[in-house]
Structure 1
Amino acid sequence: MSFRLRVFMLVMLVAVSAIGATAWLTLRLTAGEVIRSREAQVRHQDEITETIRAYGLRHGAWPGVDRVVAGLAERTDLHIQLRTDAGEVLVDSDTLQNRPSGGVRGASLPIDPRPVLDKSIAGAANDPRAYGVIKKIVPSDIFGPAPTDPIYGGAPALAVRQVSQYRAALDTVRCHAARTKGDPGLLISTAPYLTVTQMKDDPGCLRQATTRVLTDTAWQSDVNANFYACTAKRVLLYSGQGDICLDSSFGNAVSTISAVPLQLYLGGRDDLDLGELSRPALFGLAGLLVVATLGTAWIARRVSRPVRRLTLASRQLAGGHLDVRVPTRGSDELSRLSESFNQMAEAVQRSEERQRRLIADVAHEMRTPLSNLRGYLEGLSDGVVEPSRELFVSLHEETLLQRRILDDLQVLALAEAGELGYTKAPLDLADLATTSATAHRAVAAEAGLTLTVEAPAPVWVDGDNDRLRQVLGNLLTNAIRYTDAGGQVLVHAYADGGRAVLSVHDSGVGIDSGDLHRVFDRFWRADPARQRATGGTGLGLTIAHRIVTDHGGRIEVSSRPHVGTTFTVHLPLLTGS
């Protein structure tokens, strides 16, 4: 029986056995879990709602409520989630317990942490004293005895008094907590919100909070305006309608200092405890495990594990984790597939890194020159910079430099994409060295350098004359640029053991050993302080390295600081030369 047929038969056996058992077990467990979760929600929702509301009322803010939610979730075995009215999740008990956030069921429960106006202090609900107004608050109006005169003039007395108490109470406990590192929360949830002990614990904080409330009169005017705007729309001020306006003005005033309202969502925990399963469910689960274990042990060992690793790695690779790799063992098809995946991931990572570096390098190289051009043009436009022939010549040279950078980038992009065309023909490196040296001898003489060529015999290679001349021209330009007056540059072409060798040696400033590995990187220069006009685009050696590589050769560099640098090009020697 073939491997494919054995796999097919085992999978069919497991599938037929598992489908029925899994369906029955899933339905039974799901129904039981739904019933248990709903019962727990109904049983605990009042406790959870009131506990969280009381925390918000006593603290006037929600920092620290995660500890309360975590304790409630642990005690009630429910998934508790708090959201703002905008739908943003503020606290999630599953997240606090380092578990994936599960679902929530049913409608939300509102949590309003604002205090409620206690009208019993002024007598009956319709007592006119409840609507007395205060012209000016004094310290005794905040935590002292209730005023006996119903009318003071300015704003609803009862609302102003209790808002003042709530404001002063929050300020007092927060001030005291900052000094003692304690809990910045109130001990009672009703007016006057501070116990006698709290008032005596820290008289300085109480005095400071009371003074702050007394000096802030803007909110008192808002209470007054809201109350009378409401009563102006109602006919019966003292027949039940006043209560509505009083509650409205109090709620608006206290909402600016209280915690924001939240929405409570409840749900059951998604994980199941085997201890909660009924006996039939346990029997069904055990039978399913036995069948699955016997039928898929060999398949899981040989197939499932490598496939899972490849699947996970491919998802991570698609998600941007380019350094992901899978282990390879053996020499079967899955091992070869893993090796192919690793090679593909390596290629993708290198390509992505090259692309990021190129984008960053291009942005860096183009930013400064373009900023300079923009600055001069704005200066000319604003009349700050006087136009002159020298300035226009400088700007023209700057644009030519940008054009050279773009041309080099285009050549480099074509080369790295394998689309740079070459017209190869038999080529004598000795003649190429002599011709290129002649073209650069005038520049070398102007720089005070001696340019010498050693090419005793023809050295034939199969190459593109223009591209190899570009390589040698770049090496000569760099050698002349980084060699001080009185130095020398030597070009040597010769054959060595079946390889054609072309070297350029200078007695210039040299390159530090720590920078040698960066010589062929894009936009790298040995002396970053040099100007672009004299220091090149930083792409010449990168292009030269690509051209030599495309010719089947290699380019090497050796250097000693303050002694000199040697670039050596190795190319295949033309057969029969």
Structure 2
Amino acid sequence: MTRRPRVRIPLRKRLLVRLLSASVLIAVCSVAATAWLAVATTTRALREEQGQALADDMDILARLSGYAATHPSWAGVQRTVHDLSARTGRRIALTGADRTPVADSAPRGTSLPPRAAATVDPLRTDTYTERGAQLSGTDPRVVGPYRLTPSERRELDAVAHTRQRCFSRNGLETTLARTPSGRPVLTDADGGAASDYVPEDCADGQLNTPTATEQKALTALQARAGTCLVRAGLDPGMPLYFGAGIPGLSGLSGLSGRDAAPGPAFIKAGDAKAGRVAQTCLEEARRAQLDPYVAPVAELFLGGGNSGAAPRWDMSPANKTKVFGAAGLVLAVTVAVSAVVATRLVRPLRALTEAAQQPPERHARVPVTTRDETGILAEAFNDLAERRERLEAQRKALVSDVAHELRSPLTNIRGWLEVTRDGLVEPDAELLGALHEEALVLQRVIDDLRDLAAADAGALLLHREPVPADELLAQVAAAHRVAADGARVALRTETDGTPWLDADPVRLRQALGNLVTNAVRHTPPDGTVTLSARGEGGEVVLTVADTGTGIADDDLPHVFERFWRAEKSRSRRTGGSGLGLPIVRQLTDAHGGTAEAASTPGAGSVFTLRLPAAPPPVDG
């Protein structure tokens, strides 16, 4: 055999350099990316945290101001405080003007921050109409006596729907909204009031006219403002329009001709000072009117999550030194670990390469030194070499056995034909019968080889049909009854119930027939061969047991190998060709089953076929 030239590949150097290069590149990129991301994301996170904290602070103030605007006292605000604290992660505390505790999310006895974050007073701070900013004025959610009754709401809703339909007929699409007092308002697509332009057929004045509740509150407000105007030396009946600035009444008309500021005639008179005094009186009157409906002024204290701090980490020279030092350390550790791992990885691979380059006839093995993937690869390589060596031996034995099996009948046929041709023997019936028997032997060997070749190629055809196991065993026993009786061997069948198989009956009879032939051949006179069938889970178990000589433990693993005989000196006439049991295994595998053998030397053998069960056919 020509030895292949050994290819010297610098595997250790190539793999080691590639692994180290990849590791270094990954480490450098990872460190650089991590450092950059750490700086960028930390700075961004701090800024976002500041913005989020500020937004949380404004939301807390708006929520508490809304509570104060809709409740005459702080009783019950503790739950709102706890909810806000749980959502924002901040400590929230409310106290009175004299630091008397009202509500606190912290345990009792926890000291307050040194100063209040804000004052909660819905009558002097508007945290509702423009979120994120504290505007001077009254929170629109404070409606007090201007809150509509249910019946007034229903009446105004009907009027609003009528006007909305009227606007729609005139090509104006509006949306119905509701003010805190319960008054419906029509808004346009941009969210603005839809009352700037009112078509003539829609201008009925009903939606813009104050209700009885609103008129009563406005009359009381006029009286309060009049008292203040008298004290200031002004006319208490001066023209005022109460719509602007009154919760829920902005944009109304017909409110007794009164506003939150002096009317146009008064302003034209040029008395701006009197106008400011009148506006002040109106604001004071409005606060006095709404004061009974809101909670007392409270101080808001916030703890934790201080958003006033500047970013605490930047790329200063000291921080740059830390980053590069950490990066260098990570890089050095990565290189060292990669070198150790690469060396350990290359050593067994080099041994595998050297073994693989050996001549095929040497069947070289490699030592298994690890239990990792490389060790598993070495074990697989050794197993492959062992199987290759065994297959090579079997191939040589197969060629020899096939030649021997074909030579014997052919030699007999040739010899008898030559002596007959020379006239030494008369071609009588006995001679022709002997030649016919030799031809049958030759035909059986060829048929066995053909079946094995078809099974190996996956071309073994099966004609499946429902097969009852008891009838299958009875047919096989009947076919071999004469041979068993001639050998003085009892042939019996046993069936537990009536299991069914979906199988090719001809092929199964062939497989069982091979097992019965072997059992009868190796069972002494007065022995017994038993065929049995039983159901076991989703399988049908077929067994052929004999009381013959048995099989040695060392030979048992080889019984299904081709041309294998326990006694190498046996001829085909005494020991068979060694193809019967391999055909049994191939036929069983083709049916999706398994074939097993068990034996006790001197006590007999048991061959078991496990095949998939099938439901009994339904009588049509």
TM-score normalised to the size of structure 2?
0.40
Q: Going by fraction, where is helix more abundant, 1 or 2? A: 1
Q: Is the radius of gyration larger for structure 1 or structure 2? A: 2
